Amino acid sequence: MKSRLTQLCNAMIGVGLSLGLATSAGAAQSLQDVMKARGLTEKDLLAAAKTYTPTGGRDEYLAFSSGGQSGQIFVYGIPSMRILKYIGVFTPEPWQGYGFDDESKAVLAEGRIDGKDILYGDTHHPALSEENGDYDGKYLFINDKANPRIAVIDLRDFETKQIVVNPFFKSEHGGTFVTPNTEYVMEATQYAAPYADDFVPLSKFNEVYRGGLAYWKFDKKEGRIKPEQSFVFELPPYSQDLSDAGKGPSYGWGFTNSFCTERYVGGIERGRPPFEAGCSQKDTDFLHITNWKKAAELVKAGKVKKQKGMYLIPIKQAVKEGLLYLIPEPKSPHGVDVTPDGTKIIVSGKLDTHVSVFSFKKIMDAIQHKKFVGRDPYGIPILSMKDTLHTQVALGLGPLHTQMDAKPCIAYTSLYVDSQIAKWDYCKGKVLDKVNIHYNVGHLMAMEGDTAHPDGKYLVSLNKLAIDRFNPVGPLHPQNHQLIDISGDKMQLLYDMPVPLGEPHYVVAIKADKLKPEIRYRSGWNSRANSRSKWRTRAGREKIVRNGNHIDVYGTVIRSHITPEIIEAKVGDTVSLHLTNLERAEDETHGFALRGQNVNLSIEPGKTVSATFKADKAGVFPYYCTEFCSALHLEMQGYLLVAPKNYQAAGVSMSEGQTYTKADYEKQVKTNLETQAVIDSVVAFITSRNYKDFKPVVALVEDATDQLGFADEAKKKAEEYAKKGDYHNATLWAGQWWQYQVKTADLGLRAKTYLEEHGAKVVK
Ligand code: RUQ
Ligand code: CUA
């Protein structure tokens, strides 16, 4: 009889043959045939060639997109537009075990409001950390508009590490935007509300309701926001909107616009005109100008009082110290964007056809000469729009957001109502080109387009509606991210990417080679706390420790077993599972799922995670690995047995379905020797090639060597039992020896295929 491995190899060859046939059948068609059959134009082919990325290829940029109402972030490559990852941020995400292990539950718990778990977010604006105004590839921030919160994501492992709740705001929008060295993360309110947590009637709107702008202090070394070093500007109850931080000459200043400076309060159900009417009466709203650098100095000098754990700068103090100014800006503005050189501030008025370009120098001149046209009802000095404007350019209907090109003075602005993107020159005030998008673009994003040194090349249009772009999937449509080539004079639409997630607002893209994510964790790592886990467990040191009613299980996972495989508890016990993944190989994640207890873990190589739950019911609870990690993955299983309180074990013997004899043992050993021969031939192939020149192969070989080491240990145990005449256990250990051989062979074959596909050379 053929060994199982030979069968496996034959099956593999079979797959290869059928693939080969399919490829040659495809190759028989010419490009023209395919174009005709699919109705493609030459322009389509050109677009395809600009985005298509062959297997194993890499993207030049990675984009981090807000996942809107999903409370997540997702990551995709540009120009391929292939989605690479979802990152759980404000919402539990089962694949990553986010919100299911104790470590990540602690992160989500930081985001509680009034002690309540808030398990969703309305994510809007991701921001990458910066150094001298350019992305450094270290951290990512995102806000939650609905529950005023900010999250910190570490780009070493793309995991959420911290959530902070704004103690004053009841709603926000203008975050996250970072200052040029990530000194601070900006977050502005949206809908005004009282700072206190009690009831305040709407009749007190003007006196007690407030807007605000937080500057959250970020510690780059630690990778954490420091609320106790952060400060908040008290602002009038206007609806503050987006922000941007100054850079270059405008370094130290922040810009935040607003709408509904009418301070209108609706009540349509009472016969009052609705918010939308009352909030769009005036021709202008206010651009808020804040001096965060001077504010930080005041805080440092002990001149600002603390409230609710943060520094709060009252309007009066901000005005007195010259930290806060207003400039009228056209009706119901949306985006505010500082140009790469920091000299100009571009504001779009949703209800105006213009974008307004303000000059930072003119703003400073007006401030220096105290040239104010008046004060708002809260005493904040107002600069004149005329004095501070550089130019205004009519772009089209509903201008929202602006991004910058690598070429000087070139910007792109989204036109929501027109469903277009306009390319224009903000120095000369001239429109250069327009492209139609599908449909109603909100944000748009050029490569590193909000930094001091934008890259240009591509633009992504984040559309609010998809309507007819994709196959219908019911009333709720996917989102549509459209990729546009901006390398030439004319913009060219390249690709539509449907996204089945919440409405994305902003997205940021960074040059992929600036990111240096890890492949594995240091062994026994608590990734959320970024430290060694106190629960880490080494191979052979697994144990179950009982302390009164609490059981701590120090376990490990490795291809293909979970240690321990049997856990006994009694009703009423609290069980804490602590599992360490012992793997060092790339992509060898193990999962862990347990019936009925909401326990679902993702344990990446090196990671230690915990899951604590109450064994509140007697019963049998199978658990298993949820990642198909090896041929014997289905056997990666175990039992949690919860016995009734008064249960007394009658005996310790396990009943097994089979007993093995000397003949069984010898048969297994024969299979193992045959398998070893296959391994040897694969090893001979690999070592006769220049495999050391291929990094992925070197990693596979290391992993295979580890597995072979385990095989050796199992072999020794089998032989010891055989020597004692215990052929039952000898056969079982010989089977385990074979398991490790199969893993070795699997790795070896993967390495061999890689070498064949990459033209490895024969060496002497
Ligand atoms: S905002 S477009 Cu947060 Cu513009 Cu959505
Ligand atoms: Cu580990 Cu499947």
User: For 340-396, how does the pLDDT look when each residue is reduced to its tens digit (9 = 90+)?
Assistant: 999 999 999 888 899 999 999 999 999 999 999 999 999 999 999 999 999 999 999
Query: In ligand 2, which atom is closest to the CA atom of 562?
Result: 1
Cα(521) to centroid(ligand 2), Å: 18
pLDDT at 470 over 60: yes
Domain that holds residue 412: 61-514
CATH of the domain at 542: 2.60.40.420
**Do the domain assignments include residue 534?**
yes
What lines the ligand 2 site, CB under 6 Å? 560, 590, 625, 627-629, 633, 636
Confidence of residue 331 (pLDDT cuts 50, 70, 90): confident
- Tell whether 553 and 442 lie within a shared domain: no
Cα(93) to centroid(ligand 2), Å: 19
* Measured distance CA(332)–CA(447) in Å, rounded: 27
Mean pLDDT, residues 202-207 taken together: 97
Q: What is the pLDDT of residues 437-449, one digit of tens each?
A: 999 999 999 999 9
3-state helix, strand, coil in the chain (%, to 5): 25, 35, 40
Query: In ligand 2, which atom is closest to the CA atom of 628?
Result: 2
Angle at 562 between CA 556 and CA 568, to 5 degrees: 100
- Tell whether 627 and 666 lie within a shared domain: no
* Measured distance CA(619)–CA(569) in Å, rounded: 10
Cα(173) to centroid(ligand 1), Å: 8
What lines the ligand 1 site, CB under 6 Å? 124-125, 173, 334, 400-401, 442-443, 505
Cα(663) to centroid(ligand 1), Å: 72
Cα(563) to centroid(ligand 2), Å: 12
**Do the domain assignments include residue 648?**
no
With CA atoms as reference, report the closest residue to 237 among 282, 186, 203, 189: 189
pLDDT at 12 over 70: no
- Tell whether 541 and 618 lie within a shared domain: yes
Which residue's CA lies nearest to atom 5 of ligand 1?
505
- Tell whether 636 and 694 lie within a shared domain: no
Mean pLDDT, residues 1-5 taken together: 45
| Local structure of residue 25 (DSSP, 8 states) | H
Domain boundary among 491, 514, 537: 514
Cα(79) to centroid(ligand 1), Å: 23
Tokens at 651, concatenated: 């005996």
Q: Provide long-range contacts, Cβ within 8 A and 24+ apart, for 353-356.
A: 353/394, 353/395, 353/396, 353/397, 353/399, 354/330, 354/392, 354/393, 354/394, 354/395, 354/399, 355/392, 355/393, 355/395, 355/399, 355/402, 355/413, 355/424, 355/426, 356/329, 356/330, 356/385, 356/389, 356/392
Cα(258) to centroid(ligand 1), Å: 13
**Do the domain assignments include residue 330?**
yes
pLDDT at 541 over 70: yes
CATH of the domain at 217: 2.130.10.10
Q: What is the predicted pLDDT for the residue at 512?
A: 98
Mean pLDDT, residues 412-433 taken together: 96
pTM of the model: 0.91
Cα(69) to centroid(ligand 1), Å: 13
Q: How many domains does the chain have?
A: 3
- Tell whether 230 and 88 lie within a shared domain: yes
Cα(400) to centroid(ligand 1), Å: 8
Cα(513) to centroid(ligand 1), Å: 28
pLDDT at 760 over 50: yes
**Do the domain assignments include residue 539?**
yes
Distance between start and end Cα atoms, the chain: 36
Q: Where on the phi/psi map is residue 654: left (φ > 0), alpha (ψ -120 to 50), or beta?
A: beta
Q: What is the pLDDT of residues 624-679, one digit of tens each?
A: 999 999 888 999 999 999 999 989 876 667 777 889 999 999 999 999 999 999 99
Query: In ligand 1, which atom is closest to the CA atom of 416?
Result: 2
Query: In ligand 2, which atom is closest to the CA atom of 629?
Result: 2
**Do the domain assignments include residue 762?**
no
Tokens 């490829």 belong to 23
Query: Which ligand is closest in space to the CA of residue 464?
Result: 1
- Tell whether 142 and 235 lie within a shared domain: yes
Query: In ligand 1, which atom is closest to the CA atom of 443?
Result: 2
**Do the domain assignments include residue 462?**
yes
Q: Helix or strand or coil: residue 46?
A: helix
- Tell whether 441 and 546 lie within a shared domain: no
- Tell whether 267 and 339 lie within a shared domain: yes
Confidence of residue 24 (pLDDT cuts 50, 70, 90): very low
Q: What is the pLDDT of residues 240-286, one digit of tens each?
A: 999 999 999 999 999 999 999 999 999 999 999 999 999 989 999 99
Q: What is the predicted pLDDT for the residue at 28?
A: 63
Query: Which ligand is closest in space to the CA of residue 582?
Result: 2
Query: Which ligand is closest in space to the CA of residue 442?
Result: 1
Query: Which ligand is closest in space to the CA of residue 505?
Result: 1
Mutate to test the pocket of ligand 1, among 186, 259, 400, 416 (most ligand atoms within 8 A of CB): 400
- Quote the percentage of the chain above a pLDDT of 90: 90
Cβ atoms 422, 413 nearer than 8 A: yes
Tokens at 415, concatenated: 């036109």
Query: In ligand 2, which atom is closest to the CA atom of 627?
Result: 2
Q: What is the predicted pLDDT for the residue at 8?
A: 44
Mutate to test the pocket of ligand 1, among 506, 507, 508 (most ligand atoms within 8 A of CB): 506
Query: Which ligand is closest in space to the CA of residue 624?
Result: 2
Cβ atoms 236, 211 nearer than 8 A: yes
Tokens 């009333």 belong to 475
| Local structure of residue 521 (DSSP, 8 states) | P
Tokens at 626, concatenated: 């949820």
Q: Helix or strand or coil: residue 302?
A: coil
Confidence of residue 95 (pLDDT cuts 50, 70, 90): very high
- Which of 2 and 89 is assigned the larger pLDDT? 89
Mutate to test the pocket of ligand 1, among 143, 191, 413, 505 (most ligand atoms within 8 A of CB): 505
With CA atoms as reference, report the closest residue to 191 among 259, 293, 100: 259
* Measured distance CA(343)–CA(359) in Å, rounded: 6
Domain boundary among 468, 490, 514: 514
Domain boundary among 587, 612, 643: 643
Cα(758) to centroid(ligand 2), Å: 29
Mean pLDDT, residues 713-739 taken together: 94
Cα(124) to centroid(ligand 1), Å: 7
Mean pLDDT, residues 425-431 taken together: 95
Query: Which ligand is closest in space to the CA of residue 125?
Result: 1
Cα(561) to centroid(ligand 2), Å: 8
Query: In ligand 1, which atom is closest to the CA atom of 462?
Result: 2
* Measured distance CA(203)–CA(8) in Å, rounded: 77
Cα(50) to centroid(ligand 2), Å: 38
Which residue's CA lies nearest to atom 1 of ligand 1?
505
Tokens at 293, concatenated: 């650098």
- Tell whether 506 and 530 lie within a shared domain: no
Angle at 593 between CA 588 and CA 599, to 5 degrees: 120
Angle at 546 between CA 541 and CA 550, to 5 degrees: 120
Buried b / exposed e over 199-215, threshold 16 CB at 10 Å, is eeeeeebeebbbbbbbb
**Do the domain assignments include residue 12?**
no
Which residue's CA lies nearest to atom 2 of ligand 1?
442
Cα(442) to centroid(ligand 1), Å: 6
Query: Which ligand is closest in space to the CA of residue 588?
Result: 2
Least confident span in 16-30, 205-219, 388-402, 600-614: 16-30
* Measured distance CA(535)–CA(526) in Å, rounded: 9
**If you average pLDDT over every residue of the chain, what do you get?**
94
- Quote the percentage of the chain above a pLDDT of 70: 96
Query: Which ligand is closest in space to the CA of residue 172?
Result: 1
* Measured distance CA(527)–CA(423) in Å, rounded: 43
Query: In ligand 2, which atom is closest to the CA atom of 630?
Result: 2
* Measured distance CA(393)–CA(402) in Å, rounded: 13
Cα(633) to centroid(ligand 2), Å: 5
Q: What is the predicted pLDDT for the residue at 650?
A: 66
Query: Which ligand is closest in space to the CA of residue 144?
Result: 1
Q: What is the predicted pLDDT for the residue at 652?
A: 60
Q: What is the predicted pLDDT for the residue at 460?
A: 98
Tokens at 99, concatenated: 């919100």
C-alpha dihedral sign at 316, 321, 327, 331:
negative
- Tell whether 200 and 286 lie within a shared domain: yes
- Tell whether 257 and 155 lie within a shared domain: yes
Which residue's CA lies nearest to atom 1 of ligand 2?
590
Q: Helix or strand or coil: residue 70?
A: helix
Which residue's CA lies nearest to atom 3 of ligand 1?
124
Q: What are the residues whose beta carbons fall under 8 Å from the beta carbon of 250, sequence distance 6 or more?
A: 338, 342, 343, 345, 360
* Measured distance CA(531)–CA(151) in Å, rounded: 19
Q: What is the predicted pLDDT for the residue at 649?
A: 73
**Do the domain assignments include residue 220?**
yes
Tokens at 387, concatenated: 């004095």
- Tell whether 459 and 599 lie within a shared domain: no
